[in-house]
Structure 1
Amino acid sequence: MVYNMIGGGAAINVLTRQAGIDLDVVDMGVNHDFPDLPGLIKRKVRPGSANMAEGPAMSEDEALKSILSGAELAVAAHEKGYNLLGTGEMGIANTTPATALYSVLLDLPLESVTGRGTGIDDERLEHKKRIIRKSISTNASRCSTAFGTLSALGGYEIAAITGFILGAAACRVPVVADGFISSAGALAALKLCPEAGDYLFFSHLSNEPGHKVVMEKIGARPILDLDLRLGEGTGAALAMQIIEAAVNVYNEMATFSSAGVSEKSGD
């Protein structure tokens, strides 16, 4: 899938081309050694996170390295002149750590935030819940802080999204989070630095039922509700175009006064 994205064949490539949005693919922990390729940023922490049902998904050093990598990428984008950033991800089974993070960071019942991800059946859904419960129990001692929770139950891509949002906020650059998994990284960023919320947009309401629960819990209003469940940053790419349109209308549209348009008079 990474090669497909680099080659321009993924859904996110279609949407970014249409909108004129620049796209970078960042390897945070893919279980593959990539050659140097245009459009690929190599920040691999290691090939795959650990089994969070048996212990922490990441060491604290690995989590910090992931956060700092994300922050550095945001700062670099700001220094290149970008004034609107977006996040996305591509991973297998990463709705599971995202769900665990939501449950712990927001003290939400697991049943209210656990969905079918890529479309698993009832048996696999119950298995998913058991794995998340075991993971939370196994890592309970690490979950007293937002950073500890992120390192124990997150993943390299989620932690990098957290750092990316924090880095963008530090540069006062707005950033658009994609869907269910990007929002988990965004939630961790908000827990670590609530002020980051001043620079954060949630692009869309995911098809995952738990996403609505989370958005309501934190008082967020996603820009779009299109029943999306694709990931890759596709929702962010769509929402960024709406944000750009809103800014252009604000800056370029004439007022009634400047256009010489008569306002409606009272009867």
Structure 2
Amino acid sequence: MRHQILVPTDFSDNAWSAALYALKLYANKPCTFYFSHAWTFLNSGSRTHISQSYIEPLIENAKEQLEAVKEKAKLESTSSDHEFETIFSYGSLMDSIEFANKEHNIDLVVMGTKGATGAKKIFLGSNAVTVINKVRRAPLLLVPKKCTFETPKKILFPTAFTRFFGEEIMRVKQLAELHESTIDILHINKKDTLSDIQNSNLESLKTSLKDFEFNFNWMPDYNTKAHAITDFIKDNDINILTMINYEHSFIENLIKEPVIKKLGFHSRIPFMVIPRID
């Protein structure tokens, strides 16, 4: 199986860190890495006053930078089964991702995030939040600023067991297969019992994961789920956090909150958001 990995870039150090993480995560797998750049002309005045002779060199420069990123990735890759392509487009980041998803059947989008910066401590950054909200074709792996690759021995999957696990759980299993990772299932609840529906969903999950090493973990709901997840990550040496982006889910609440201090959540490890399948 050849994996199709999309790495959007704005040519920042942040974006390059995400690219490096992707290369190492898939170091032993046949992959095609698509480096994409969405070019938009930002002008506070009227577009009609800007000549094409001014814009064209800017476009050419961006294309050259994109090609340079691809060549740099080739040098970093340690696998002869890795292939590299570029996708240069005009318009928004979302348009670029949607185009790549449709044309190349992308398996995973890997993006760098700005993390907590400045007085407001913005979580993820506006681009990442937009992509989480709108991308429905492929999972999104958000790589924090300055995150260095560690072999993902442990993957965290928080769940309330309130929904049946369909194709979405395949994404967690595919991630675990890359490095034979253990899957830590985390349930956060004030009650110490599960409903009949929750028990049924738990049993179906166990069946789905029968060929994987996994652990079931229960935590009381203290303060916020964000605090519980953050503490579990820290205490259990988790390498990647995964969640399914259901409607009215924890992720939805998380990305609506701009001030991290109120949430107590700031992931220092990659965060894979799995789109729900409607």
Assess same fold via TM > 0.5.
Answer: no
TM-score by length of 1: 0.29
Structure number with the higher strand fraction is 2
